[in-house]
């Protein structure tokens, strides 16, 4: 049975401290990645593979820090497989919590105002019930994706990883591709993750609830200034919710991708660095499984401009062209949901 590290989740999602810590890890991860490319060009395979492994681990940890799932102390105390695998479970709970947190207390700045809203707006209660029902379904679908696909994929890649320094054959490479390709496609087409998880209905129910509350405010709040403030607050909340879900979904995708590939390295970290009885790192050749897959990682990261996009999404500041394309593709998906 896989052992998971249990985090003490106390940090806020995208807190200022979490973002700064995450960016520190991401900067080092990028340096590790650039070093691996140079080492690979000079056929220094053990060193190149070690730096790729380090880069994957730091990217994953940067995302855990950004989402408030771990502190620096957590990452110092527990490293490697247990932390990263535990993070998969926590990503599930984070998305769930984000739904529920937004559905409840963040609808209004103060809980009592939220209660007052529902006492005043009876129609909103039905929309709230629908929202809870559909969000529960989305959470179950996400759990299936994590439990039945991601976790099994990680376990299988960990098993393959025990022999990943051996010479590659077509059968093994195809098996790895069959596991990882889905997550690679998410990097290129993030909306497909939203569709696979099934968040659409939850988002629509939240939109229905927002519309119901706005209609109620227009009808029952007579003071014009107060009505304007309440309507603006509700709409700003809805936009903030959408933006945060867009950020979380993309970072979750990157996390799952890095975890899948990190599993191939798990059993080989010491072998990349030290000679052992009957083994030396200089035995690693260009046709080994891990070298071939590492080249794929390098090509994918460069193709999707991963480091700049992850930095933008952690910061919540969409600056690069590719980041804007991804943000717009996810935002437009949510907007289309609202129009249907």
Bridge partners, residue 279, by sequence: 276
One digit per residue, pLDDT tens: the chain, 340 residues? 333 333 333 346 778 888 999 999 999 999 999 999 999 999 999 999 999 999 999 998 899 888 877 777 777 665 444 555 555 555 555 555 554 554 444 444 444 455 555 566 767 777 777 776 776 676 667 667 666 677 788 888 989 999 999 999 999 999 999 988 877 777 767 777 767 666 667 777 777 878 888 888 888 888 888 888 888 877 887 777 777 777 887 888 888 888 889 889 988 888 998 998 888 999 999 999 999 999 999 999 999 899 999 999 999 888 888 888 888 888 777 776 666 5
The string of DSSP codes covering 109-166 is SSHHHHHHHHHH-HHHHHHHHHHHHHHHHHHHHHHHIIIIIIHHHHHHHHHHHTTTTS
Q: What distance in Å separates the CA atoms of residue 129 and residue 132, rounded to the nearest whole number?
A: 5
CA 70 to chain centre: 14
Tell me which residue of 88, 60, 90, 89 sits closest to 75, measured CA to CA. Answer: 60
- How far from each other are the two terminal CA atoms of the chain, in whole angstroms? 44
With residues binned 3-state (H G I as helix, E B as strand, rest as coil), the percentages for the chain, rounded to 5, are: 80, 0, 20
pTM value surpassing 0.95: no
Q: How far is CA 42 from CA 74, 177, 284, 293, in A?
A: 36, 26, 13, 17
Q: What distance in Å separates the CA atoms of residue 2 and residue 333, rounded to the nearest whole number?
A: 36
Q: How far is CA 299 from CA 27, 192, 317, in A?
A: 19, 21, 25
Residue pair 337/56 in contact (Cβ under 8 Å)? The answer is no
Tell me which residue of 316, 298, 332 sits closest to 67, measured CA to CA. Answer: 316
């Amino acid at each position: 049975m896989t052992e998971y590290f249990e985090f003490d989740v106390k940090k806020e999602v995208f807190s200022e401290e979490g973002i700064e810590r995450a960016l520190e890890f991401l900067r080092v991860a990028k340096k590790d990645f650039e070093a691996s490319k140079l080492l690979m060009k000079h056929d220094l395979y053990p060193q190149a593979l070690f730096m790729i492994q380090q880069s994957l681990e730091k990217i994953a940890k940067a995302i855990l820090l950004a989402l408030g799932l771990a502190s620096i102390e957590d990452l110092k105390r527990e490293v490697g497989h247990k932390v990263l695998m535990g993070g998969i479970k926590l990503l599930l709970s984070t998305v769930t919590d984000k739904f529920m947190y937004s559905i409840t207390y963040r609808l209004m700045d103060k809980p009592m105002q939220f209660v007052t809203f529902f006492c005043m707006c009876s129609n909103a209660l039905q929309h709230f019930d629908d929202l809870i029902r559909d969000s529960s379904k989305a959470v179950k679908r996400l759990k299936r994706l994590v439990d039945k696909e991601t976790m099994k994929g990680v376990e299988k890649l960990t098993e393959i990883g025990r022999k990943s320094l051996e010479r590659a054959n077509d059968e093994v490479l195809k098996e790895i591709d069959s596991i990882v390709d889905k997550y690679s496609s998410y990097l290129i087409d993030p909306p497909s993750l939203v569709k696979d998880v099934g968040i659409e209905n939850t988002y629509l129910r939240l939109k229905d609830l927002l519309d119901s509350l706005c209609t109620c405010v227009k009808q029952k709040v007579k003071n014009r200034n107060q009505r304007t403030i309440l309507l603006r607050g509700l709409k700003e909340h809805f936009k903030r919710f959408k933006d945060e879900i867009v950020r979380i979904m993309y970072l979750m995708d990157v996390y799952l991708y890095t975890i899948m590939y990190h599993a191939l390295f798990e059993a080989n970290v010491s072998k990349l660095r030290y000679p052992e009885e009957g083994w030396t790192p200089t035995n690693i050749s260009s046709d080994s499984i891990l070298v071939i897959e590492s080249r794929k990682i390098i090509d994918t990261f460069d193709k999707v401009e991963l480091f700049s996009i992850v930095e933008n999404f952690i910061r919540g500041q969409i600056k690069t062209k590719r980041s804007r394309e991804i943000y717009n593709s996810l935002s437009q998906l949510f907007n289309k949901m609202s129009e249907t």
